[in-house]
Structure 1
């Protein structure tokens, strides 16, 4: 095991910068924290550039069999590197995914238009994973998927299915080419989700927490849909709404 003693060590300073999107994009790396996320990354062939453990951390035996050569740091340095109030004693520097996504006939996709809250995006990814989707496309204005809060909220689901960045108009065109109907969440001029019939293949578009899906995206939809409200709430949190819609579209098959 290699040991880092100084808080001024160049690697410590470099790793800490990975909490900024600019540095992540520059180096193609990001930080995950805690044994659960790290095990999920290992189990899904995510490339780990560095493993960093606190000196008192007991590394699981099966990790040792992977012949990882961790950096050992003090509790104080782990606190500097961690982005949480209560560090879990282990971090990993991972290389960004090279997973590709291609729209295929019969597929199920989620397109995200400008969701800005990290917790919302992480929950959306986790829900899409649970719903068995084939991939997720993050459009313009959406928070970075490698943001530490997004990563924690996904609970490892980011490693289970392709999540890519892209121009949503291009992806909608690709869906049309493969005869995958595009449903867009909207409040006006939309049909109740309860009345929508799905063929089991679809692309669902959800939008920004405040302004919803952009007009130019709505104009590209095959169908606008909304979730009927039985109480007095005007709207739902975007992550909750996405979950309801994904399951309803799969349930309401022709």
Structure 2
């Protein structure tokens, strides 16, 4: 590892650039860059084949040797910069991320890029999720279940929002995840002969009575709005998780997890 320079001022132009990338979705989309913070998250991004541009480390928390080891098999074109405690505290989203963050190039997430090598895929579709915490939780569930893909229909936030990266614990980098409009996603699923199962209250059957053994997409909407009519009209079968209390819905990530692992159980998940 060749350390190119040190940064000790919070007024440094690179520091200002990083702050913009963290705070502004428009800047991330415009530049094709985003920020990763934390040892585990960076490990997963490396595993996911992401290209790193710049790595910044605070030696009191993450030594040069540890940083070098982390990127031992990474690109030699990465710039490594040592930063002071003051700079790190200015940049860090949280203070428990081992003193390392990086500027990384985003990957394409177009629906047209989605490859499904499994002939009998199990896919999660989330329509218009807005809360980064929910998206992160959905991605963690998808990772735990080793789903073939996650599709975000009508996305309301970009995938590289720092809150999504944090709440997904880096699973955003290892899931097979793409985005598209609802109509595009429905057309894609139908063209691939993937059955659509919508989580909905009306015209639904108990989820344990639904057969998820063939190629399936489990579709969930927001807690506030549910799924659009376009999804409900395209559904092979609406499914419901029976409630025994006073409310008629659960957090979307909890509902998705229940449905996904029922599908995995039917597929002899062990």
How high is the TM-score relative to the length of structure 2?
Answer: 0.87
Cα 1:55–1:157 change in 2 (3 A) is: same
Q: Distance in 1 between matches of 2:72 and 2:38?
A: 19
Q: CA deviation at 1:103?
A: 5.2
Q: Aligned match of 1:36 in 40, 45, 61?
A: 40
| CA deviation string 1:176-228 (max 9, x = no partner) | 22221001110122111011112242011111131111122211111111111
Secondary structure of 1:219's match?
helix
Who is 2:217 aligned against? 203
Match of 1:213 in 2: 227
Q: Give the gaps of 5 or more residues in structure 2.
A: none
Q: Which moved more, 1:152-161 or 1:182-191?
A: 152-161
Instruction: Give the equivalent residue in structure 2 for 1:46.
Output: 50
On the 8 A contact 2:33/2:103 being kept in 1, the answer is yes
> Within the alignment, does 1:79 sit opposite 2:89 as a pair?
yes
Please tell me whether the aligned partners of residues 52 and 90 of structure 1 are also in contact (alpha carbons under 8 angstroms): yes
Moved more, 101-110 or 143-152: 101-110
Match of 1:4 in 2: 7
Distance 2:157 2:260 in 1: 21
Q: Contact conserved, 1:197 with 1:253, CA < 8 A, in 2? A: no
1-structure distance, mates of 2:89, 2:169: 21
**CA contact under 8 A between 1:44 and 1:159: conserved in structure 2?**
yes
Q: Deviations over 1:18-65 (max 9, x none)?
A: 121000000111111111111111223211111011132224252363
State how many pairs are aligned.
254
Written as runs of structure 1 = structure 2, the 5 A alignment for 1:60-99 is 60=66, 62-63=69-70, 65-66=72-73, 67=76, 68-86=78-96, 88-98=98-108
Tell me how far apart the structure 1 counterparts of residues 123 and 33 of structure 2 sit (CA, whole Å).
26
**Residue from 114, 119, 127 that aligns with 1:101:** 114
**More divergent stretch after superposition (47-56 vs 63-72):** 63-72
Kept in 2: contact 1:112–1:142 (CA 8 A):
no
TM-score normalised to the size of structure 1? 0.92
Deviation at 1:142, TM superposition (A): 3.3
Match of 1:173 among 174, 187, 190: 187
RMSD across aligned positions (CA): 2.0
Q: Which consecutive residues of structure 1, in runs of 5 or more, have no partner in the other structure?
A: none
Distance verdict in 2 for CA 1:231–1:72, change over 3 Å: same
Q: Does 1:58 align with 2:58?
A: no
